[in-house]
């Protein structure tokens, strides 16, 4: 069981299953949503995820025709990247975990649009677009 929450603690959740692949996304939308050089997400099976508090504090933004990004309306913490065409899974903003996920990131995606002021210095695979 993994637990997580937003910055102010209003929104809390639990994950009962294993995390999917963890990814550093360098696309411009993730950079803006996180206010950082990249966003780190892991794929989550929807049936293994439960909000335990604060669902009334969750707001969403449609960032593209098939994607909603959720966040806490109180503190602004990014929570999820949800493809409406994939209701069985979503991508969780890993920075909101309170517990150690015990798995490292596996790769960088959208490095063709990474912030020009950021240099990737690790040995993880890099993909110009979305990975395979």
Q: What is the pLDDT of residues 52-79, one digit of tens each?
A: 999 999 999 999 999 999 999 999 999 9
Instruction: Tell me what pLDDT residue 130 has.
Output: 78
Q: What are phi and psi of 101, to 5 degrees?
A: -70, -15
Q: How many domains does the chain have?
A: 1
Distance of alpha carbon 85 from alpha carbon 72, whole angstroms: 23
Residues of the chain with pLDDT under 50: none
Residue 36: Cβ within 10 Å count: 14
Domain containing residue 90: 2-113
Note the pTM of the prediction, 2 decimals. Answer: 0.91
Residue 89: Cβ within 10 Å count: 15
Instruction: Tell me what pLDDT residue 116 has.
Output: 94
Q: Is there a domain that residue 128 lies in?
A: no
**Using an 8 Å Cβ cutoff, are 38 and 108 in contact?**
yes
Instruction: Tell me what pLDDT residue 132 has.
Output: 58
CATH of the domain at 95: 2.170.150.70
Handedness of CA 47, 101, 99, 84 (dihedral sign): negative
Instruction: Tell me what pLDDT residue 48 has.
Output: 97
């Amino acid at each position: 069981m993994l637990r997580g929450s937003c910055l102010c603690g209003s929104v809390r959740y639990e994950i009962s299953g294993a995390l999917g692949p963890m990814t550093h996304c360098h696309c411009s939308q993730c950079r803006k949503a996180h206010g950082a050089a990249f966003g780190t997400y892991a794929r989550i099976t929807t049936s293994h995820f439960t909000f335990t508090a604060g669902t009334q504090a969750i707001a969403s933004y449609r960032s593209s025709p098939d994607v909603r990004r959720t966040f806490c309306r109180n503190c602004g913490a990014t929570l999820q990247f949800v493809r409406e065409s994939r209701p069985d899974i979503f991508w969780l903003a890993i920075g909101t975990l309170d517990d150690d996920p015990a798995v490292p990131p596996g790769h960088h995606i959208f490095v063709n649009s990474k912030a020009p002021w950021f240099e990737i210095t690790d040995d993880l695979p890099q993909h110009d677009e979305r990975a395979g």
